[in-house]
Structure formats: structure tokens, C-alpha cells
Amino acid sequence: MPPLPTTTIGSFPQTGELRAARAAVTAGTLSAGEYERRVEAEIERVIRLQERLGLDVLVHGEPERNDMVQYFAEHLDGFAVTRNGWVQSYGSRCTRPPILHGDVRRPAPITVRWARYAQSLTEQPVKGMLTGPVTIVAWSFRRDDLPLRDVVFQVAEAIREEVADLEAAGTSIIQVDEPALRELLPLRRAAQEEYLEWAVAAYRRATSGVADRTQIHTHLCYSDADQILAAIDGLDADVTTIESARSGARILGAVREFGRGLGPGVYDIHSPRVPPAAEVEELLRRTLAALPAERVWVNPDCGLKTRTYEQVEAALANVVAAARRLRERAGQA
């Protein structure tokens, strides 16, 4: 990687055409084969866009996914999904939480096909993208006949199998997101230490089966992560990307002792506003004042699913430009 490597969090815009195609498959008016061809075309569009912009680590854009939890629940035993079970997530965004009713098993690989296809299109590294065990359980209606810890560890075993298959398929960077780590923290302080201990252990169980050459990333967003920074460090991910721009870079006041790669976000994706390159550069300068340059990654706050391609292309161009300017100035120093 060059200094200040650039990447995104995972998702790219979910267009109306993609959502309509997914609905048509469900309705039986579009064949599975034709839908998969459209997904492949969208993946190629995302890869070519990232190459053109000059990003260092690419993603496939997740066009095949309806939701970061529901998609995995649809491919795991022990879950059921609903057609109309919508709940409000935030603002006007709604999701359909899966129903976790039985023991969790992974009958077959879930993401490997799409990861392999995306990597075949480019020489740049393409991250494998998975949702972590705590988040999958936290954002589901879960069974209550087993302790929460046991349910999360069942999901961790399924994710561990997926991580191993991604690595075997040649994926050198695998991102396992855990945005609900802080959200599931018990309100009672007396229970928090025990929760964080087993939640971190479940994440490490899911991700620790890879060889040293495989890089593990994680992502947390909009979650007061500064309150549990020691637990985040304990996840043992090589790189953590985390929301920062939207909260005014508050996280930077707590990360000076963070010992791993860190990407505090420089682009607030919940706004249609495109941040100027100078603004991104200023956020990066603040980050470099808190962390050594060799540990800093450059990325948006969160995934780009809710934005338009026009907004995304303009914003990412500015993110890449800012990172390159700082690289050049560091080289002249």
C-alpha cells in the first residue's frame, strides 16, 4: 500500500434498476440467470469507477445485497425472513429484521462467487465484505431459549467458514463489519465488561482462522465508539474504519494510543453534500496530528448505498485528490 491508502466501506449506490430487478426475481418475472448478469454488470461498473478514480483498495459494491444483515440471514440455516416485516432504522430508512429461530449453520458459501468475479476484473486488491456475528444477531429478532452469547458464537462459526472460503479463493483483504458492537452494550455497567469480553471473543473466533498474509478489516459507524475503544482494539483487526466526519472528528481525541491501522472517516455519507478536497485534506491533517501516518487509512464514514453515483464520484474524487496531495507533500519533506 502507498502512504495513506484509500478505500471505501463496502456498498455503492443501490439504484432503482437494481431494486426493481430484485423485486422482479421475487415476483417471478425475471429469471435468476438474468438477474445475476445484471449484478455482474453493476459490479464491473463499480470496479471501473474505482479504478478511474484511483482508489487503492477496491470493493465490489454489494449490488446483490438487499441489506447487510438480511442478505446473510437468507443464506444461513436457522433464520427466516419476512416479506413485509418492516421496522424503522433511522430517519426514513427501514429494514426487515430476520427472525433467528434455530441453530445457525452455513450450508454453502455466500459471498465467494461475487468476490472472485470482482477480483477477476482488476489487478487492484478487492476486499471481501462480511457482516460480523454481533451485528447479525443484534439486528435480528433472536431466539431467547439460549443465552445471547451462545447464539452469537453460532453465527461466528458460520462467518468463520465464510472467511476461510474467501481466503482460499484468493481474497487477500477481508472486512468483517461490527457496527452493533457498541449498540448491544448493556445499560448496566456491571454487565458491560462481561459482554465486551465475549463479543470480542466471538469476533476473533470469526476472523482468526486466516493466515498472517491475509489482512482483516472491520468497520464501525455512528456508535460512540470512543467509549469502547479498548474493546475495538481487542478485535485484533489489522485496520478499523470508523465514522468521524459526521461527528466533527470527535473520535480523534481518543485514538492516540490505538495500536492498529485506523481510518477515521473524511466524508459524511448521510449528506448529499460533496465535501471539497480542501475540507477532506483538513480532516486528514487532524487525523495525522493524532496518529502516525503509517497507520492512517483514508475512507468515507460509512457505505455509499444511500447516495447517488453523481454524488459518490465527485466526493471520492476529492477524497483521492486530498490523500495524494498529502502523500506528495510528505515525500518532499
Q: What is the mean pLDDT of residues 320-325?
A: 96
Q: What is the pLDDT of residue 257?
A: 77
Q: And the C-alpha cell for 262?
A: 485506523
Q: And the C-alpha cell for 244?
A: 468521524
Q: What is the mean pLDDT of residues 73-100?
A: 90
Residue 331 pLDDT exceeds 70? no
Q: What is the pLDDT of residue 212?
A: 93
Report how far residue 39's alpha carbon sits from residue 16's, in angstroms, rounded to the nearest whole number.
Answer: 13
- Residue 170 DSSP SS3: coil
Distance (Å) of CA 252 to CA 2, 114, 121, 178, 244: 22, 35, 36, 20, 8
Residue 297 pLDDT exceeds 50? yes
Report how far residue 3's alpha carbon sits from residue 21's, in angstroms, rounded to the nearest whole number.
Answer: 40
Answer for the pair 9, 299: CB distance below 8 angstroms, yes or no. yes
Q: What is the pLDDT of residue 326?
A: 94
Residue 277 pLDDT exceeds 70? yes
Residue 122 pLDDT exceeds 60? yes
Nearest Cα to 174, choosing from 218, 109, 205, 123? 218
pLDDT in tens, 18-33: 999 999 998 999 999 9
**Residue with cell string 466526519:** 245
Q: What is the pLDDT of residue 329?
A: 81
Q: What angle do CA 323, 256, 286 make, to 5 degrees?
A: 35
DSSP string, 269-304: TTSSPPPPHHHHHHHHHHHHHHS-GGGB-B--SS--
pLDDT in tens, 203-259: 999 999 999 999 999 999 866 777 888 899 999 999 999 998 888 888 888 888 788
Q: With helix as H, strand as E and coil as C, how does 93-128 read?
A: EEECCCEEEEEEECCCCCCHHHHHHHHHCCCCCECE
Backbone angles phi, psi at 29, to 5 degrees: -100, 0
Report how far residue 224's alpha carbon sits from residue 146's, in angstroms, rounded to the nearest whole number.
Answer: 29
- Per-residue pLDDT band for 333 (boundaries 50, 70, 90) equals very low
Distance (Å) of CA 318 to CA 6, 151, 209, 294, 304: 11, 42, 37, 21, 15
Q: What is the mean pLDDT of residues 99-112?
A: 98
pLDDT in tens, 128-178: 999 999 999 999 999 999 999 999 999 999 999 999 999 999 999 999 999
- Find the farthest-apart pair of alpha carbons in the chain and give their distance in angstroms, rounded: 62
Nearest Cα to 164, choosing from 128, 218, 195? 128
Residues 6+ apart with CB under 8 A from 199: 134, 152, 181, 184, 231
For this structure, is 101 an active site residue? Answer: no
pLDDT in tens, 34-67: 999 999 999 999 999 999 999 999 999 999 999 9
User: The pTM is what?
Assistant: 0.94
- Per-residue pLDDT band for 90 (boundaries 50, 70, 90) equals confident
- The active-site residue out of 75, 101, 219, 270 is 270
In the chain, the N- to C-terminal Cα span, in Å, equals: 20
